[in-house]
């Protein structure tokens, strides 16, 4: 890169802005200059001819002798020069600025009112928007820095003829910048021009920025932001700070567009539309709907509360948390989700799909990659042509306990890969599994499921009604193997996959715990008390945040955890265990969420026949939500049950 402010378009940016008509005008001017020079030469020849006719004979002879002598000397010099190679002349390359530049600054200030809008339009230049200090008078201060590598006196003319207009009105402030018309001729000779805007606005201002070549950078924006550049990057702080108290979907707060650069934005208190022709999109917490499209870069978002429409032609898509319908598509990248409190539609042309938790319906499809779903509470439809599928299906238990049901038909389909499904023991569903080739061994089911095997020519079909039957669960593979297991059979595998997914999300710059939309400035230092009690509180808070970042929650002592339970029905002794004489301790790791529900994360110790009853009981427990909210994250603890035969 050449170092000009329009980094992506370099020295060609200014030349690309001018039409062929101006270039033709320049060519016509050159032809006119050549004709004028030729006319002067003709006049000089006529003058010499007239003087020659008036000269005397002696004078003519002297002139002829002098010309012959000069010709002899010139011929000798030419002969000598043939033996010496002339030193090469390094041409000036277009787009490479010379060391010497000429600069000028334009600055000013316009009175305004907070809550209005800055509208800036420029055909060239990078733009930086900063906020006025708190309590400062409501004005718009601007500085425009101009530079050119043209030589004098052209440099002075270009700088003087740069057009900058400013105007204050009832709706805000309008600033327009236009390159001088002479740049059409100057750019054809390799001359470059640089423009940089730095504008300070009131903290509650909205901004509308449009530049044809250059980067756009903003600090926190109190109102809305519309940022558009044809060739640069966009980097924005928080947008819509004024709407943080009533943040949500339905209000377009940020519109970000670039034809080739990257887009980075922190929290947005409303809807956001972002488009880049080929760069990456990196977003923080979005309180509304998100429309994020890239021509081939990666898309990352920490949290999207509203509906999400994410598309890229070839990059990866990573989302930490989503609260509504999520629709994602990538031409060949990886799709990674943390928690989705809604439904998911995901499609990739070749990468894998990994989702930690989805509460609503899910439809995922990959052309060649594997699919891993560590917790599915709703219906699921998953298909892959060449990869494997692993799914832990675990619908939410009703408050009354008992069996759990799928909300609709679920189907998992694989071409060449295996299908591995983990089911809760109290699931009421109809199993319909088909392995089209490979024989009986292609379906490997836990004997306790009680499936009936039906054999065909080269295929095997397994059917069964679990706990009286329910919504169908259909499994089909062309040449892979179908494995059916209970949830408590491979808890360590699930835990390791969840840890890997959390680590992967953190590596991609996505935090699982949202930071929230805070109104205080992140860069401002907070007051620190000197008391030992405050230091202890700070240390405890820091440790809690550390635990949340790494394990997704705060660990709590078992006795302290039970003090905050509002509902704690005991488990029923399983009849199968009673007949078999099975007794002993069952220890579970549980997690309490902010809505008061308690979930079982894993079985630490105990017989599987007893663990099912303990897990079913814990799913009916409820904890005080206020206590969990005070922890700023989920609460993780352990509970122990003692099953004894009397």
Domain boundary among 201, 221, 254: 201
Question: Domain check: are 618 and 487 in the same one?
Answer: no
Contact 483, 420 (CB under 8 A): yes
Q: What is the distance of C-alpha 394 from the center of its chain?
A: 31
Model confidence pLDDT, tens digit, residues 346-376: 999 888 898 888 888 889 999 888 998 888 8
Is residue 113 in some structural domain? yes
Q: What is the pLDDT of residue 589?
A: 87
Instruction: Give 188's DSSP letter.
Output: H
Q: What is the pLDDT of residue 401?
A: 66
**Band of pLDDT at residue 46, cut at 50, 70 and 90:** very low
**Band of pLDDT at residue 539, cut at 50, 70 and 90:** very low
Is residue 330 in some structural domain? no
Average pLDDT, integer, range 194-223: 94
Is residue 335 in some structural domain? no
Average pLDDT, integer, range 214-230: 94
Of all residues in the chain, what percent carry a pLDDT higher than 70?
73
With a CB cutoff of 8 Å and minimum separation 6, the contacts of 376 are 358, 362, 391, 392, 393, 394
Q: Is the pLDDT of residue 135 over 70?
A: yes
Q: What is the pLDDT of residue 116?
A: 95
Model confidence pLDDT, tens digit, residues 249-276: 678 999 999 988 999 999 999 999 999 9
Instruction: Output the average pLDDT for the chain.
Output: 78
Supply φ then ψ for residue 438, to 5 degrees.
Answer: 110, -10
Domain boundary among 201, 232, 260: 201
Q: Out of 61-65, 82-86, 253-257, give the one with best mean pLDDT.
A: 253-257
Average pLDDT, integer, range 51-60: 44
Q: What is the pLDDT of residue 626?
A: 84
Q: Up-side HSE of residue 576: CA atoms within 13 Å toward CB?
A: 8
Question: Domain check: are 613 and 496 in the same one?
Answer: no
Q: Is the pLDDT of residue 132 over 80?
A: yes
Question: Domain check: are 131 and 18 in the same one?
Answer: yes
Is residue 255 in some structural domain? no
CATH number at residue 598: 3.30.2420.10
Model confidence pLDDT, tens digit, residues 555-610: 888 888 899 999 999 999 888 888 888 889 998 888 888 888 888 888 888 888 88
Is residue 268 in some structural domain? no
Question: Domain check: are 487 and 395 in the same one?
Answer: yes
- Comparing 128-132, 323-327, 498-502, 515-519, the range with the smallest average pLDDT is 515-519
Q: How far apart are CA 396 and CA 40, in angstroms?
A: 96
Helix (H, G, I), strand (E, B) or coil at 504: helix
| Residues forming beta bridges with residue 386, ordered by sequence position | none
Q: What is the pLDDT of residue 7?
A: 39
Contact 375, 360 (CB under 8 A): no
- State the distance between the two ends of the chain, measured CA to CA, in whole angstroms: 82
Question: Domain check: are 17 and 142 in the same one?
Answer: yes
**Band of pLDDT at residue 552, cut at 50, 70 and 90:** low
Average pLDDT, integer, range 12-40: 43
Q: What is the pLDDT of residue 357?
A: 82
Question: Domain check: are 447 and 364 in the same one?
Answer: yes
Model confidence pLDDT, tens digit, residues 433-443: 999 887 667 89
Is residue 181 in some structural domain? yes
Beta strand 482-486 pairing with 404-405: unpaired
Dmax (CA) of the chain: 150
Q: What is the pLDDT of residue 579?
A: 82
Contact 551, 503 (CB under 8 A): no
Question: Domain check: are 379 and 472 in the same one?
Answer: yes
Is residue 508 in some structural domain? yes
Q: Is the pLDDT of residue 224 over 70?
A: yes
Q: What is the pLDDT of residue 441?
A: 75
Residue that wins the pLDDT comparison between 530 and 211: 211
Question: Domain check: are 495 and 597 in the same one?
Answer: no
- The structure tokens listed for 435 are 């392995």
Domain that holds residue 421: 345-518
Q: How far apart are CA 265 and CA 236, in angstroms?
A: 5
Q: Is the pLDDT of residue 217 over 70?
A: yes
Beta strand 460-466 pairing with 452-455: antiparallel
**Band of pLDDT at residue 547, cut at 50, 70 and 90:** very low
Helix H or strand E segment including 111:
strand 102-111
Q: Is the pLDDT of residue 2 over 90?
A: no
Helix H or strand E segment including 274:
strand 271-276
Is residue 525 in some structural domain? no
Question: Domain check: are 358 and 454 in the same one?
Answer: yes
Cα distances from 612 to residues 26, 305, 398, 615, 616, in angstroms, run: 86, 35, 16, 5, 6
With a CB cutoff of 8 Å and minimum separation 6, the contacts of 621 are 565, 567, 568, 569, 590, 598
Question: Domain check: are 442 and 558 in the same one?
Answer: no
Helix (H, G, I), strand (E, B) or coil at 207: strand
Q: What is the pLDDT of residue 244?
A: 66
With a CB cutoff of 8 Å and minimum separation 6, the contacts of 262 are 233, 234, 276, 279, 280, 281, 282, 297
- Comparing 70-74, 102-106, 187-191, the range with the smallest average pLDDT is 70-74
**Band of pLDDT at residue 216, cut at 50, 70 and 90:** very high
Question: Domain check: are 3 and 124 in the same one?
Answer: yes
Q: What is the pLDDT of residue 109?
A: 95
Average pLDDT, integer, range 535-564: 60
Residue that wins the pLDDT comparison between 25 and 350: 350
- The structure tokens listed for 536 are 């202890």
Is the N-terminal amide bond of 404 cis, ω within 30° of 0? Answer: no
Q: How far apart are CA 213 and CA 230, in angstroms?
A: 6
Q: What is the DSSP string of 138-184?
A: SEEEEEEEEEE-PPTTHHHHHHHT-EEEEEEETTEEEEEEE--TTHH
- Comparing 189-203, 234-248, 422-436, 545-559, the range with the smallest average pLDDT is 545-559
Q: Is the pLDDT of residue 196 over 90?
A: yes
Q: How far apart are CA 346 and CA 138, in angstroms?
A: 47
Helix (H, G, I), strand (E, B) or coil at 54: helix
Tell me how many degrees the CA angle 17-22-28 measures, rounded to the nearest 5.
155
Model confidence pLDDT, tens digit, residues 453-481: 888 887 899 999 999 999 999 999 998 99
Q: Out of 126-130, 238-242, 459-463, 525-529, give the one with best mean pLDDT.
A: 126-130
Question: Domain check: are 507 and 605 in the same one?
Answer: no
Domain boundary among 154, 185, 201: 201
Residue that wins the pLDDT comparison between 248 and 555: 555
With a CB cutoff of 8 Å and minimum separation 6, the contacts of 148 are 101, 102, 155, 158, 159, 191, 192, 193, 194
Q: Is the pLDDT of residue 90 over 80?
A: no
Q: What is the pLDDT of residue 551?
A: 46
Cα distances from 528 to residues 44, 404, 468, in angstroms, run: 88, 51, 62
Helix (H, G, I), strand (E, B) or coil at 526: coil
Helix (H, G, I), strand (E, B) or coil at 264: strand
Helix (H, G, I), strand (E, B) or coil at 509: coil
Domain count, the chain: 3
Q: What is the pLDDT of residue 100?
A: 80
Residue that wins the pLDDT comparison between 444 and 84: 444
- Comparing 262-276, 326-340, 538-552, the range with the smallest average pLDDT is 538-552
Q: How far apart are CA 359 and CA 380, in angstroms?
A: 10
Q: What is the DSSP string of 534-574?
A: HHHHHHHHHHHHHHHHHHSEEE--HHHHHHTEEE-PPPPPP
Helix (H, G, I), strand (E, B) or coil at 364: strand
- The structure tokens listed for 205 are 């201002």
């Amino acid at each position: 890169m050449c170092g000009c402010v329009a980094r992506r378009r370099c020295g060609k940016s200014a030349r690309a802005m001018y039409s062929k008509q101006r270039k033709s005008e320049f060519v016509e001017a050159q032809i006119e200059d050549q004709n004028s020079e030729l006319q002067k030469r003709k006049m000089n020849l006529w003058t010499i001819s007239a003087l020659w006719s008036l000269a005397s004979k002696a004078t003519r002879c002297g002139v002829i002798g002098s010309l012959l002598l000069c010709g002899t000397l010139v011929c000798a010099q030419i002969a000598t020069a043939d033996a010496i190679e002339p030193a090469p002349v390094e041409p000036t390359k277009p787009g490479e600025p010379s060391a010497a530049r000429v600069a000028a600054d334009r600055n000013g200030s316009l009175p305004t009112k907070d809550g209005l809008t800055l509208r800036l339009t420029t055909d060239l230049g990078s733009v930086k928007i900063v906020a006025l200090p708190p309590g400062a008078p409501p004005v718009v201060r601007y500085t425009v820095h101009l530079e050119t590598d043209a030589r004098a006196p052209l440099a002075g003319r270009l700088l003087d003829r740069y057009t900058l207009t400013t105007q204050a009105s009832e709706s805000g402030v309008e600033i327009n910048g236009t390159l001088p018309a002479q740049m059409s001729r100057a750019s054809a000779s390799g001359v470059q021009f640089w423009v940089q805007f730095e504008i300070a606005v009131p903290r509650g201002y909205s901004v509308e920025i449009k530049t044809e070549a250059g980067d756009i950078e903003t600090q926190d924006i109190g109102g809305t932001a519309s940022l558009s550049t044809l060739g640069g990057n966009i980097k924005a702080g928080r947008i819509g700070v004024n709407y943080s108290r009533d943040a949500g979907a339905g209000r377009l707060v940020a519109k970000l567009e670039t034809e080739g650069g990257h887009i980075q934005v922190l929290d947005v208190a409303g809807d956001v539309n972002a488009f880049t022709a080929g760069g990456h999109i990196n977003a923080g917490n979005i309180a509304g709907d998100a429309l994020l499209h890239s021509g081939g870069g990666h898309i990352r978002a920490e949290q999207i509360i509203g509906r999400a429409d994410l598309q890229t032609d070839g990059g990866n898509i990573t989302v930490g948390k989503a609260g509504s319908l999520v629709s994602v598509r990538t031409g060949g990248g990886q799709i990674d989700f943390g928690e989705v409190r809604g439904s998911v539609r995901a499609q990739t042309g070749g990468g894998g799909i990994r989702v930690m938790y989805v509460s609503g319906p899910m439809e995922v499809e990959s052309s060649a990659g594997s699919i891993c779903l560590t917790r599915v509470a709703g219906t699921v439809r998953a298909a892959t042509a060449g990869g494997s599928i692993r799914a832990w299906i675990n619908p939410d238990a009703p408050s009354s306990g008992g069996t759990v049901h799928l909300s609709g038909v679920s189907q998992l389909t694989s071409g060449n890969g295996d299908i591995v499904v983990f089911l809760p023991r109290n699931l009421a569903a109809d199993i319909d599994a088909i392995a089209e080739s490979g024989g009986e061994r292609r379906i490997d089911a836990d004997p306790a499921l009680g499936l009936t095997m039906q054999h065909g020519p080269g295929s095997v079909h397994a059917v069964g009604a679990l706990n009286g039957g329910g919504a169908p669960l259909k499994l089909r593979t062309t040449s892979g193997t179908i494995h059916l297991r209970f949830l408590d059979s491979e808890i360590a595998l699930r835990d390791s996959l969840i840890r890997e997914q959390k680590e992967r999300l953190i590596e991609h710059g996505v935090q699982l715990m949202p930071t929230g939309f805070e109104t205080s400035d992140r860069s401002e230092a907070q007051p620190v008390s000197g008391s030992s009690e405050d230091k202890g509180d700070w240390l405890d808070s820091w440790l809690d945040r550390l635990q949340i970042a790494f394990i997704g929650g705060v660990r709590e002592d078992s006795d302290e955890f039970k003090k905050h339970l509002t509902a704690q029905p005991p488990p029923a002794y399983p009849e199968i265990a009673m007949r078999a004489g099975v007794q002993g301790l069952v220890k579970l790791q549980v997690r309490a969420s902010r809505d008061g529900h308690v979930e079982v994360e894993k079985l630490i110790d105990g017989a599987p026949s007893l663990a099912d009853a303990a897990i079913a009981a814990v799913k009916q427990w409820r904890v005080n939500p206020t206590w969990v909210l005070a922890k700023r994250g989920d609460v993780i603890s352990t509970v122990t049950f003692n099953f004894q035969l009397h």
